[in-house]
A = this chain, B = another copy of it.
Amino acid sequence: MPPLPIPMPTDLSILLTVMDFVGVFVFGLSGGTLAVRKRLDLFGVMVLSLAAALAGGVMRDLLIGALPPASLHDDRYLMVALAAGLTAFLFHKPINRLGKPVMVLDAAGLALFTVAGCGKALAYGLSPLPAALLGVMTACGGGAMRDMLVAEVPRVLREEIYAMASLLGAAVVIAGQELDLPPVPVAVAGALAVFVLRVVSVRRNWSAPRAPGS
């Protein structure tokens, strides 16, 4: 997940980079703690941390042809993800107890990755529908890969308002671009939409609909 590919003031750019690393770290923790629960070894913990943190962005970059992917270009992404894996390896118990703060940071990561992924896809010339889907893939693909690596059906396909929140944010970004609105406020609005819908849905226990009669 690179910084948003739109012109912006330096301060905002620094803020976004910091938030991006926070997102990578928290997503990495989700991979690392799952790996510990599944009794994987140190290497498995690191791989799940890398996958959860970076696979979504890697898939997006593979699909738009931005090679090598951003996270193989800038070592800080790998280092943050590996640090998350090591943290999970050593401190999985206290982390698992931090349910709410981890959920809030995860929602922030979801928001930022959605908007950044969508923006990068648009910057590479994709049209709105695929760009929105790639934004969702950037945000949700890492978690899906994390779950597949331990032979589980990805949680994102089964329950909760997670991908739906990401999709809402992607729709905001796309609508803003179609209406020629200025990119920074649109990105902020998109990210807020993801974050608020995700956090509210967890607090209220909302979930996405299942097929009628399934």
Contact = CB atoms under 8 A, between A and B. Distances in A.
Interface string A89-106: 110110000000000000
A79 interface: yes
A207 interface: yes
B126 A157 contact: no
Interface in A13-33: none
Given A78-B130, A78-B133, A126-B72, A157 B211 contact: no
A179 interface: no
Interface of A: 35-45, 47-48, 50, 58, 62-65, 67-69, 72-73, 75, 78-79, 88-90, 92-93, 124, 126-127, 129-130, 133-134, 144, 148-154, 156-159, 163-164, 167, 207-214
A96 to B, nearest CB: 11
Copies in the complex: 3
Contact of A130 (B72, B124, B144, B150): B72
A129 B79 CA distance: 9
B210 A75 contact: no
Given A90-B211, A150-B153, 6 more contacts: A41-B159, A73-B130, A89-B211, A92-B211, A93-B213, A148-B149
The 10 closest A-B pairs by CB, nearest first: A44-B157, A65-B67, A41-B208, A72-B130, A36-B211, A43-B163, A40-B157, A36-B214, A89-B211, A151-B153
